[in-house]
């Protein structure tokens, strides 16, 4: 086996597969490392449609989407190792290479790469991150775990369900449970507005008569062996518990759909700079992290609501790796991307004046009839509604960006001229 590659991709989900495919198409030598025993990533267990609208112009289910990518990888020949775990990385700027330590049933070995594209995805927030205390009982699952149990491994977790979190993941799981015959008592949401798309509120909750409790949280779970009750309380506008509003909901299963966090432990160990608003690395327009030659994409970079964006980022990272190798580094003059009114996150954190750029933005609060606005270049995009759950994809041409001097700021402002 060859030990040195142009690109080593860590992670065989949508972002990693897309990065591997693009890198191969650009003529680079690629090795992809996947920790589980199949390629495809999380969409393999997301049996609902909503994938591929941007990439393929079709409304595919998750598995269909993953298999399209696997097919492309097969076509261009992306070599890969399954059951491979990266136990550590070391970056050697002098020799311009990165060494990875890999553990797999094939042996423990080291790989050398000119560039690494880190696409290892995200982890789910656990029960304490959801602010739940109480008895130590069984019957508590994260949404992804419940999804894998049902839709990969054919296991029914429980029969009386409380779902915590009204993002799309929680809504989709509420419907899965209801459809398979469970009694979904309700979806509990901390904020005063739901986290997921309206389409999912309708097709997952309304269609099945599942109550949505806004401004509520599960404070405690009780039970002897398995959960028997969830104590649900109301919260005020500062998200504090309103005393006296506790009520018990009988259940045997609590599903935690309270959010994802990029899984970047190997990058943290290397000292990469992290953006606290995304939980992922800070990156430039080529999705290169603060460590030269190490790129990131997909949910490891920031939590994406569309797998299509993960694919797009994978392609961009591969392009970055190609540039890095061709020019022995990426010597651009990067201008910073700042966050203005109602912008929670904006990626990448740096762009260059001379290239087209795609910026992914998330807002802090929902608003209607607004404009995305960049004052430095006098650019705007009207949007009828913005929601924290929906990532906004902004495309800027190199021409627009020529006007930047020091950097740019993205802000969300009310659209004063309504239709």
Partner 1 sequence: MRVAIIGAGIVGSSIARVLSRYRNLVVYLLEREVDVGWGASKANTGLIHPGYGEDPDEHPLRARLCAAGNRIWRRWARELDVRLRWPGELALAFVRKDLDAIRRFITLGYRNRVPGLRLLDRDELESFEPNVSGEALGALWAPSCGQILPWEAVTALIENASANGVKLNLETEVRDIKIEGWRVKGVETNRGFLPADIVINASGINADTVSRMAGIDHFSIHPRKGEYILFRGDSSPKVVRVLHRVPVHDTKGVYVTTTIEGNLMIGPNVQDLPGELKGDKATSIEGLDSIWMEAEKLVKRLPPRDEVLRVFAGLRAEPSWGDFIIEAYDEAWGFINVAGIRSPGLTSAPAIAYYVRDLIGDRLGIRLEMKDKGEWTPCRRGILRAADASWRRLGRLIDGNLGYGKIICKCRMVSEAEVVEAVRRGARTLDGVKYRTGAMTGDCQGSFCRIRIGMILARELGMPLWKVTLQGGGTEYGLGDVKVLQGRSGQP
Partner 2 sequence: MAVKAFTCTVCPIGCEITVIVEEGKIVDVKGFGCTRGKDYAVREVLDPRRILVTVIRCRNGRLPTVSVKTDKPIPKGKTWEIMRILSGIMVEAPISMGQVIVRDVADSGADIVATRPNPKSDENSDQPHPIRIRSFRR
List residues binding partner 2 (CB under 8 A): 1, 31, 37, 44, 47-49, 61, 63-64, 67, 73-74, 77, 79-83, 104-107, 109, 150-154, 176, 179-181, 197-199, 201-203, 207, 383-385, 390
Whole-angstrom distance, CA of residue 245 vs CA of residue 241: 8
For residue 95, the partner it binds in partner 1, partner 2, none, with Cβ less than 5 to 8 A by kind, is: none
Residue number, 59 or 207, with CB nearest to partner 1: 207
Give the number of C-alpha atoms closer than 13 A to the C-alpha of residue 162, restricted to the C-beta side. 24
Distances (CA, A) of 413 to 357, 359, 367: 21, 17, 9
Whole-angstrom distance, CA of residue 359 vs CA of residue 301: 13
Region near partner 1 per CB under 8 A, out of 11-19, 54-62, 130-138, 343-351: 130-138
Q: DSSP string of 120-146?
A: --EEE--GGGGT-EE---B-EEEHHHH
Report, in Å, the least distance between residue 77 CB and partner 2: 7
Whole-angstrom distance, CA of residue 25 vs CA of residue 371: 37
Whole-angstrom distance, CA of residue 78 vs CA of residue 55: 19
Closest CA to 395 of 355, 368, 366, 367: 355
Region near partner 1 per CB under 8 A, out of 46-54, 131-139, 311-319, 329-337: 131-139
Cα angle, residue 78 at apex, residues 30 and 64 outer, rounded to 5°? 135
Alpha-helical (H) ranges within 223-365 are: 265-269, 307-326
Residue number, 106 or 397, with CB nearest to partner 2: 106
Region near partner 1 per CB under 8 A, out of 121-129, 311-319, 323-331, 344-352: 121-129
Report, in Å, the least distance between residue 169 CB and partner 2: 15
Residue list 261-320, contact with partner 1 (CB under 8 A): 263, 265, 268
Largest CA distance in the chain: 66
* C-alpha 281 chain-centroid distance: 13
For residue 327, the partner it binds in partner 2, partner 1, none, with Cβ less than 5 to 8 A by kind, is: none
Pairing of strands 122-124, 229-234: unpaired
Report, in Å, the least distance between residue 152 CB and partner 2: 6
Site membership for partner 1, residue 226 (CB under 8 A):
yes
Q: Which residue has the tokens 């506790």?
A: 246
Please enumerate in sequence order all residues whose Cβ is within 8 A of that of 146, keeping only pairs 6 or more positions apart, or say none: 157, 173, 177, 253, 255
Site membership for partner 1, residue 124 (CB under 8 A):
yes
Report, in Å, the least distance between residue 221 CB and partner 1: 9
Report, in Å, the least distance between residue 349 CB and partner 1: 22
Whole-angstrom distance, CA of residue 52 vs CA of residue 207: 25
For residue 137, the partner it binds in partner 2, partner 1, none, with Cβ less than 5 to 8 A by kind, is: partner 1
For residue 259, the partner it binds in partner 1, partner 2, none, with Cβ less than 5 to 8 A by kind, is: none
- Number of residues this chain uses to bind partner 1 (CB under 8 A): 52
For residue 129, the partner it binds in partner 2, partner 1, none, with Cβ less than 5 to 8 A by kind, is: partner 1
Q: Which residues contact partner 1 (rule: CB under 8 A)?
A: 35, 83, 85, 87, 101, 103-109, 123-124, 126-129, 133-139, 142, 144-145, 148-151, 153-159, 180-183, 219-220, 222, 224-226, 263, 265, 268
């Amino acid at each position: 086996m060859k030990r040195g590659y142009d690109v080593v991709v860590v992670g065989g989900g949508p972002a990693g597969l897309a990065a591997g495919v693009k890198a191969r198409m650009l003529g680079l030598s690629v090795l992809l490392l996947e920790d589980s025993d199949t390629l495809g990533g999380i969409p393999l267990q997301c049996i609902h449609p909503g994938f591929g609208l941007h990439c393929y112009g079709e409304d595919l289910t998750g598995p269909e989407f993953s298999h399209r990518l696997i097919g492309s990888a097969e076509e261009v020949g992306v070599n890969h190792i399954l059951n491979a775990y990266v136990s550590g990385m070391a970056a050697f700027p002098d020799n311009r290479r990165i060494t990875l330590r890999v553990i797999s049933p094939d042996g423990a070995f080291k790989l050398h790469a000119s560039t690494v594209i880190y696409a290892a995805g995200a982890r789910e927030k656990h029960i304490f991150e959801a602010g739940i205390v109480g008895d130590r009982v069984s019957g508590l699952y994260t949404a992804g775990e419940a999804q894998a149990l049902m839709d990969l491994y054919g296991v029914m977790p429980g029969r009386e369900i409380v779902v915590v979190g009204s993002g799309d993941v929680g809504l989709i799981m509420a419907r899965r449970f209801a459809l398979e015959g469970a009694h979904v008592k309700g979806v509990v949401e901390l904020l005063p507005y739901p986290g997921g798309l309206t389409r999912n509120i309708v097709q997952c909750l309304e269609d099945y008569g599942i109550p949505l409790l806004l401004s509520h949280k599960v404070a405690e779970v009780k039970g002897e062996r398995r959960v028997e009750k969830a104590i649900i309380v109301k919260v005020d506008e500062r998200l504090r518990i309103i005393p006296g509003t506790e009520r018990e909901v009988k259940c045997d299963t609590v599903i935690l759909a309270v959010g994802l966090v990029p899984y970047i432990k190997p990058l943290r160990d290397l000292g990469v700079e992290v953006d606290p608003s995304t939980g992922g690395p800070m990156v430039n327009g080529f999705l290169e992290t603060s460590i030269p030659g190490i790129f990131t994409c997909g949910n490891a970079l920031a939590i994406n609501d569309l797998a299509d964006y993960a694919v797009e980022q994978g392609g961009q990272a591969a392009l970055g790796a190609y540039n890095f190798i061709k020019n022995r580094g990426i010597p651009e003059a990067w201008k910073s991307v700042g966050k203005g009114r109602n912008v929670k996150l904006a990626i990448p954190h740096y762009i260059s004046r001379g290239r087209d750029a795609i910026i992914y933005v998330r807002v802090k609060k929902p608003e209607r009839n607004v404009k995305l606005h960049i004052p430095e270049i006098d650019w705007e995009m009207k949007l009828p509604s913005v929601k924290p759950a929906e990532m906004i994809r902004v495309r800027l041409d190199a021409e627009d960006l020529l006007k930047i001097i020091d950097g740019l700021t993205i802000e969300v402002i009310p659209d004063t001229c309504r239709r």
